[in-house]
Chains A and B, each alone.
Chain A
Amino acid sequence: MTDPRVTGAARYAEDLEADGMLHARIVRSPYPHARVVAVDVSAVPAGCAVLVPEDVRDLGRYGIQIRDQSVLAERARHVGDPVAAVAAESPRVAEEAAAAVVVDYEELPAALDVLDAVRPEAPLVHDGHELASTGAAYFGLRPQQGTNVCHHFRIRDGDAEAALREADVVVEQTFTVAGAQHAPMEPHACLARWKSGRLEVLTGTQTPFNLREELAGIFGLEPEQVRVVCRPMGGSFGAKTFLRTEAIAAALARKAGRPVKLVLPRTEEWVTLNRHPAVVRVELGARADGTLTAARIECWADTGAYADSGPGVVQKMGFAAPGPYRIPNVAVDAYCVYTNLPPNGAFRGYGQMQSTWARERAIDLLADRLGLDPLELRLKNVLREGDRYCTGETMHDVHYAECLERAAAAIGWHEDRRGKGLSVILKGMQTPSRAAVAVEDNGDGTYVVRCATTEMGQGAIHAITLLAAELLGVEPERVSFPAPDTDTAPYDTRTTSSRSTYMMARALEEAVRDLRANGGARGYGEVANAGGLDPETGAGVASTHWHQAASGAEVRVDEETGKLEVLRLHAAVYAGRVVNRPAAELQNEGSMIMGLGSALFEEVVYRDGQVVNPNFSDYAIPSAADLPVQISHELLEAEGAEIHGLGETALPPVPPAIGNAVAALGLELFDLPMTPERVCEAIERRVGVRA
């Protein structure tokens, strides 16, 4: 098979060309919080289109959960906030033109730390919280008006306070996770043009219909007057969700009367979207025999200057925080907090990693306190078939114990526990969710599948083609799956949260059944999963089904320099049923390596609101040479089981498995990444090596 991505024939958004096209460049704020007093464009070369805040004042605000963003900022809320934009005949002239725009700012006090930002005296990043309650990606939010907290999600199940008072043993610890950059190979890129009042945007996006809705709202159009055509993405990992650069390109195209292409320079990726840094405080209570009785967890997630999908990320961070354990008394408070840092949003796993790191490390602290084997403690408390979760859901198709046992066996846990660690996770899928697909019969034995599932390298095209071919009873070569286009694909929510294969498989079954039944040229299938949580109590349906995984790690530490070496890393992931084995295995591997990066190296470093390492020279991602000596994984299946998404599941358990392995050497680390310097600090703190 000649994959166009391998031969170089694939045309990404960055490769697009259109007649008369101009190239855009964004002018960005150098201050974390400042009012734009004046924009002087007199030095911009003739022939360039220039967009200043005045030009976009008539446009609508956007934001999928909170409408807190305008196309250009009149009050810049983070370093890198777009305050003007230019379009020119070439990227080079555009760069010169952008440099010629002179902006006069009035600096304002800034909130640069998540814990400072929740103090009563903190400067407010936004004056109020305008909910996007009519949007497709909206769910019930609990903003705290007059504060920087734009969503406060809670779980209240049982009485955690009382249970902690009565517990034989309580462990309490605060953990942190650094911000991270998605680092897709291809930066954000799009091309926008207007055709007789209709806006057409070609872009690399995971969310074509959400993007269409946002653009329609901004430009005062009906959704049908906006066409979003997806280009294949050179990686995304959540970076290309919702509206990113498309509105600026569209507004420039409107002003210039010509198509405009916008490709972000690499360094601007770090001010466009990163992963939420978080502070997580965990208290666990247990009986002397190791039975968990209570969990009280608080998460403060830094969403940066704009909410974006932060409330959703934080809710997921919160509802997964107690983990796959039977805990009768649970209290969770998860806060989505504005700061004057660049926005943070969806990142492979959607908040899962942050609370998992804290909880799984705390479970090992508890095991240490109780003098129990961390595996035994987990197996004693782990959720089993038919158990109730703290949201009130009954858990089915439960495989946590099996995942744990496999992970333990893979690292030789039972022979010797020195330098070895385990972790286990439960992870929600986007719920509620809906997916639709159309299958067209060309009449010559070939078929076309139309849906909004997008390709970002995860193999969605291949998986869906295989599923459709199987259902239609034809060879995969006879099924084509063109890039999603909102003009022809049926409406869908989004390609996020490892839900595409699962949802699309079911919608495809319906569509093929419909095609057969109506005997026509087009069959249509749609599935919807109901659910959602009460943000006040956490009761409801968090997830249609749960992603389940465990990880095991073995490490060695150079105690003189603190340098950590991962010798073995294993992930056992529950797949239900595997659709495309090579692709599923690659998802596991990719997730584990990304988890390794978060565990050991990756950190967006801010100083006075500036990102100090916005390039691959100063921001380290893992290279092939950084892989553990032995890296392995397995996919667990069950007879007749549903398909489970796999795109993200093996990432969150990796950092705590490594952290627990380091703890087994007597070195307690609470902050990610686990740099050699932090390991040295743990060496200084060490009181004794664990048995």
Chain B
Amino acid sequence: MRAEHGDDATVVAGGTFVGIMVNQRLLAPPAFLSLRDVPGLDHVRANGELRLGAMTTHRAVELSSAVREGWPALAATFGVVASARVRNQATVGGVLADADHASDPPSMLLALGARAVARSVRGEREIPIEDLIVDFYSTSLEPDELLVEVRVPGGAHRAVYRKFRSRSHEDRPAVGVAACRRGDELRVVVGAVAGRPQWFPDLCAVASDPAEVAHAYAEAIDPISDVSGSSGYRRRVIAVEVRRALEELA
């Protein structure tokens, strides 16, 4: 159907994001393609690696004992999104495919080294999160592709997510910091500050002192300004929250 309608049909999963876009008249699609009744897209499978179906809700990830056991920081990240009511509706596939910069899970998934699985009539491919989200509301998915699953590597790791809200607890992040250490590899990802999650492998590779890394991230990022905070203020918070994340990780 997507191949048939092309861009005219907007894919809807939980509808929390598309609903906002339609209400704000930023989106007025002639057709919606709902995934609600498509079977086999709402699984949580942990077998070495974690596989989350695109229609799995935030709430299901947050409460899954398998996720809490093997990927506790990921469960926690899904648990700080908006309110429980929204989390019961919002989906794993949706939060990645809408590529909304002010989201929590994408940064954490990127830090964990997750890949998205895109399927079309042509077949299936895996896309690392850092290649999936390319800019504000923009992904590398082809028009005929559907995001069907997210795969998160298993194995020993330590991860932490820090969500900084400048306003209400139910607000979206002004700055989100995800950090993950797996063996010698450290990944620090900062979300909600630019068109895509900000990850600087070079800065992470030479990482030593948390404050130094934090300072380097604050320098490297050119943050956006919006109702949640100015660019300068976000830069200040990045320096604080990256350091705190690394201190928690240590």
Contacts and interface: CB of A to CB of B under 8 A. Distances in A.
Nearest to B232: A677
Interface in B132-172: 164, 166-172
Interface string A608-643: 000011010111111101100000000000000000
B240 interface: yes
B24 A267 contact: yes
B20 A676 contact: no
A211 B167 CA distance: 37
B233 A680 contact: yes
A677 B233 contact: yes
B23 A601 contact: no
A267 B23 CA distance: 8
B23 A615 contact: yes
A601 B236 CA distance: 19
A interface majority secondary structure: loop
Contacts of B172: 617
B102 to A, nearest CB: 9
A413 B76 CA distance: 38
Nearest to B239: A560
Contact of A677 (B23, B166, B168, B169): B166
A198 interface: no
A601 B167 contact: yes
B245 interface: no
A623 B167 CA distance: 10
Given A561-B236, A561-B240, A676-B166, A265 B23 contact: yes
B23 A600 contact: no
Interface string A244-257: 00000000000000
B236 A613 contact: no
A623 B229 contact: no
A266 interface: yes
Contacts, number: 55
Contacts of B167: 600-601, 620, 675
A612 B229 contact: no
Nearest to B17: A617
A675 B166 contact: yes
B65 interface: no
Interface string A585-604: 00000000000000011010
Interface in A228-266: 265-266
B227 interface: yes
Given A613-B227, A677-B233, A266 B168 contact: no
A612 B227 contact: yes
A39 interface: no
A289 B233 CA distance: 41
Contacts of B169: 623, 625-626
A59 interface: no
Contacts of A605: 227
Contacts of B23: 265-267, 615
Contact of B164 (A561, A600, A618, A680): A561
B230 interface: yes
B83 interface: yes
A625 B167 CA distance: 11
B237 interface: yes
Given A613-B227, A676-B229, A676-B233, A623 B83 contact: yes
A601 B164 contact: no
Contact of A623 (B166, B170, B233, B237): B170
Task: Assign chain B's interface to a size class.
Answer: 20 to 34
A561 B173 CA distance: 14
B25 to A, nearest CB: 8
Given A266-B23, A676-B233, A680-B236, A621 B227 contact: no
Contacts of A618: 227
Interface string A666-691: 00000000011100100000000000
Contacts of A625: 168-170
| Highest count of chain A CB atoms <10 Å: which of B164, B168, B170, B236 | B168
Contact of A620 (B20, B83, B171, B237): B171
A6 to B, nearest CB: 19
B81 to A, nearest CB: 13
A563 B167 CA distance: 9
Given A561-B236, A676-B229, A680-B233, A601 B168 contact: yes
Nearest to B237: A561
B231 to A, nearest CB: 11
Given A265-B23, A615-B20, A615-B24, A620 B164 contact: no
A258 B164 CA distance: 52
Interface string A131-162: 00000000000000000000000000000000
Contacts of B229: 675-677
Interface string A169-186: 000000000000000000
| Highest count of chain A CB atoms <10 Å: which of B20, B170, B230 | B170
Contacts of B240: 560-561
A676 B23 CA distance: 29
A613 B168 CA distance: 15
Contacts of B168: 601, 620-623, 625-626
Nearest to B175: A561
Nearest to A627: B169
Contacts of B171: 620
A218 to B, nearest CB: 30
Given A561-B164, A623-B170, A617 B20 contact: yes
A682 to B, nearest CB: 13
A617 B172 CA distance: 8
15 contacts: A267-B23, A561-B164, A561-B237, A561-B241, A562-B233, A563-B164, A612-B227, A613-B227, A618-B227, A621-B168, A622-B168, A623-B83, A623-B170, A676-B229, A680-B233
Interface of A: 265-267, 560-563, 600-601, 603, 605, 612-613, 615, 617-623, 625-626, 675-677, 680
Given A267-B23, A617-B172, 18 more contacts: A265-B23, A561-B237, A561-B240, A561-B241, A562-B233, A563-B166, A605-B227, A615-B23, A620-B167, A620-B171, A621-B168, A622-B168, A625-B170, A626-B168, A676-B233, A677-B230, A677-B233, A680-B233
Listed from nearest, the 9 A-B pairs whose CB atoms lie closest are A625-B169, A620-B167, A620-B168, A623-B170, A601-B167, A677-B233, A560-B240, A676-B166, A613-B227
